[in-house]
C-alpha cells in the first residue's frame, strides 16, 4: 500500500533562518506531488505541484521554493523565513490521470 | 476559474442529530468534488468524492453527499452525529477531466462541534 511521510512534524524557526521540509511517498511510481499551506481560518492554499523529477509549478509568488530531486521526494525550502510563513504545511500525492489526492500528516511551522 | 464556498465556519449539533455541512462550487466545466476531514494536527482524509457517476455519493464513517447541478451544491450529511465526528471538514473542487496535475481548490473549512 501507499504511504506518505513528512518531516519534521513540528518546527520552530527564527525569522530570517532557512527552511527545508521533506516529503516522501512509498508504494507508487511517478506520482503527482503537491505542497499546500494551511493558515488558521483560511483553508488550504496550493503552493507548488510537480508532475515529474525537476518539474515544478508555482501557484503563488512568495519566498518559498520547491524541488523534486527524486521521483518520490518533494522538498519545500526557503532561504529566509518570514513571520507570515508560519502555518501547517501539507504534502499530497495523486496518481497520474486521477484527481483524488492523498495527504501526509503535515508539518507545523512556527516562525518567531 | 473554480471556487468553493462553505457556508458556516462553525456548525454545532447534538449527538445523534442530523449533520448538514454546506458546500457550493463554481466551475466552468463539469466538476470533480471532494469532501475531506481533518482531525487536530493531522493531515486530510478523504471522506467521499463525486466524479460524474451517481449524484448521491456514500463515503466513510456514514457520511454521504448529493451533487445538485442546478444548485451548484455538494452538501455533506450524516443522519446521526457521533462524538468522534468532531473535526474540520473541507469541500474541494477540481475541474480537470482526470488527467491534469493541478491541485484542488479548497473551501475555508467548517468546524463541526458535537454537543453531548
pLDDT at A25: 97
Contact assignment for B96 to A108 by CB distance below 8 Å: no
Cα–Cα distance, B76 to B88 (Å, whole number): 13
pLDDT at A91 over 70: yes
β-partners of residue B16 are none
Choose among B68, B60, B55: nearest CA to B89: B60
β-partners of residue A102 are A93
Interface check for B94 against chain A (CB to CB < 8 A): the answer is: yes
Cell of B103: 491541485
pLDDT at A68 over 90: yes
Stretch A32-42: mean pLDDT, rounded? 86
pLDDT at B53 over 80: no
Dihedral of alpha carbons B2, B26, B67, B82, sign: positive
Contact assignment for A105 to B42 by CB distance below 8 Å: yes
Cα–Cα distance, A4 to B56 (Å, whole number): 30
pLDDT at A79 over 60: yes
Average pLDDT for chain B: 90
Contact assignment for A49 to B104 by CB distance below 8 Å: no
User: Sorting pLDDT into bands at 50, 70 and 90, what band is B99?
Assistant: very low
User: How many alpha carbons lie under 13 Å from residue A96 in its C-beta half-sphere?
Assistant: 8
B102 Cβ contact list (under 8 Å, min separation 6): A49, B94, B96
Amino acid at each position: 500500500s501507499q504511504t506518505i511521510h513528512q518531516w519534521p512534524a513540528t518546527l520552530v524557526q527564527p525569522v530570517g533562518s532557512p527552511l527545508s521540509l521533506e516529503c516522501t511517498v512509498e508504494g507508487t511510481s511517478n506520482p503527482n506531488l503537491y505542497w499546500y499551506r494551511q493558515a488558521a481560518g483560511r483553508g488550504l492554499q496550493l503552493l507548488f505541484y510537480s508532475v515529474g523529477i525537476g518539474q515544478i509549478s508555482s501557484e503563488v509568488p512568495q519566498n518559498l521554493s520547491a524541488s523534486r530531486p527524486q521521483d518520490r521526494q518533494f522538498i519545500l525550502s526557503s532561504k529566509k523565513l518570514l513571520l507570515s510563513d508560519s502555518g501547517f504545511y501539507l504534502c499530497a500525492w495523486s496518481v497520474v490521470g486521477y484527481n483524488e489526492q492523498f495527504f501526509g500528516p503535515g508539518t507545523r511551522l512556527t516562525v518567531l | 476559474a473554480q471556487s468553493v464556498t462553505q457556508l458556516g465556519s462553525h456548525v454545532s449539533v447534538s449527538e445523534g442529530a442530523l449533520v448538514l455541512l454546506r458546500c457550493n462550487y463554481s466551475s466552468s466545466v463539469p466538476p470533480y468534488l471532494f469532501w475531506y476531514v481533518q482531525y487536530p494536527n493531522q493531515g486530510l482524509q478523504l471522506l467521499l468524492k463525486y466524479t460524474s457517476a451517481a449524484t448521491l455519493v456514500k463515503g466513510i464513517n456514514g457520511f454521504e453527499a448529493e451533487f445538485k447541478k442546478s444548485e451548484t451544491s455538494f452538501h455533506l450529511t450524516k443522519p446521526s452525529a457521533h462524538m468522534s465526528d468532531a473535526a474540520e471538514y473541507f469541500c474541494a473542487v477540481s475541474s480537470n477531466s482526470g488527467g491534469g496535475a493541478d491541485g484542488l481548490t479548497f473551501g475555508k473549512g467548517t468546524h463541526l462541534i458535537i454537543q453531548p
